[in-house]
Homo-oligomer: A and B are copies of this chain.
């Protein structure tokens, strides 16, 4: 009997070991019956995503991609969160001008600040790019990186969208949150590659999207190392360092990641070069455009000054890239919508 127990125990241990190995090797998403993309309607877009992921994660398949190379890049404004009536960083900029105005009496008469403080942003922006840069530098530079991170964190914790009344961090697309999680569960690293300021995004992207600071690529201003009373700080200088938009996106990707993504997600012509760069690599590739077609639940636009998608849509169609019709493909747009 004692001998039997030893035999049984040995058998059980071997069985368990085998089962454990199977469990560890199995794909957590595939082995689960639950739909990893519940906010996506069944259709060609969802099908294309799932087929691509299945293909590149299937060991032994000719299209298998090792985990180290499973890099997916996402635009932010209009791709992961909304960008209407204007990119959310612009709201931050306006709020900062108002908050800083008491320390700058000269802004009451100096443009573009004066018009802005009088509640006329259109007049403020009449100065074009120069006005925008002036506003950006007055609000984004002159402090240390730690101070700026705190300013952003404080603002994003309470700032609300003027139309929906929801926090800006709630104005994120539920289907894209699911897509990010689905890709990560399949061994992808998910990067943001945005025209927005890199240090405007980093304080909250991990909490909101699950994307850590080192996987955020964005536009930047120059930094300067200084010792202040023996304490090292990085000071944000009023000088543009890098514009991570359009042809800047593949440059930002190469500078920071140093390898070519295999999947790219965007919504505008500003993402086109990132798509082209991603698509031109060898092996399986996936490019997806979010097309804003839902005027009711979100906004419908593709010929806009910001977020315009003309060349991109044309190229997507001619190259067979996936185009998400937001109205038809998304069961739910925002997390706060009722299911």
Contacts and interface: CB of A to CB of B under 8 A. Distances in A.
A234 B213 contact: no
Nearest to A227: B276
- Tallying the copies of this chain within the complex gives 2
A111 B213 CA distance: 45
A224 B250 CA distance: 9
Contact of A254 (B145, B256, B259): B145
Contacts of A212: 68
Given A232-B250, A234-B251, A247-B224, A258 B199 contact: yes
A183 interface: no
Interface string A227-246: 10001101000000100000
A89 B280 CA distance: 30
Given A224-B247, A225-B273, A247-B224, A214 B12 contact: no
B199 A225 contact: no
- Most chain B CB atoms below 10 A, which of A212, A232, A241, A276: A232
- Counting chain A residues whose Cβ lies within 8 A of the other chain, the interface size class is 35 or more
Interface in A5-23: 5, 8-9, 12-13, 16-17, 20
Which 6 pairs from chain A and chain B are nearest by CB?
Answer: A213-B258, A12-B12, A16-B16, A225-B247, A232-B276, A223-B251
Interface of A: 4-5, 8-9, 12-13, 16-17, 20, 68, 145, 198-199, 202, 212-214, 216, 220, 223-225, 227, 231-232, 234, 241, 247-248, 250-251, 254-259, 273, 276-277, 280
Given A12-B13, A198-B258, A220-B255, 11 more contacts: A5-B8, A8-B9, A9-B12, A202-B258, A213-B258, A214-B258, A225-B247, A225-B248, A225-B251, A231-B280, A256-B256
15 contacts: A8-B8, A9-B12, A12-B12, A16-B20, A68-B212, A198-B255, A213-B259, A214-B214, A220-B255, A224-B247, A225-B247, A227-B276, A231-B280, A232-B250, A234-B250
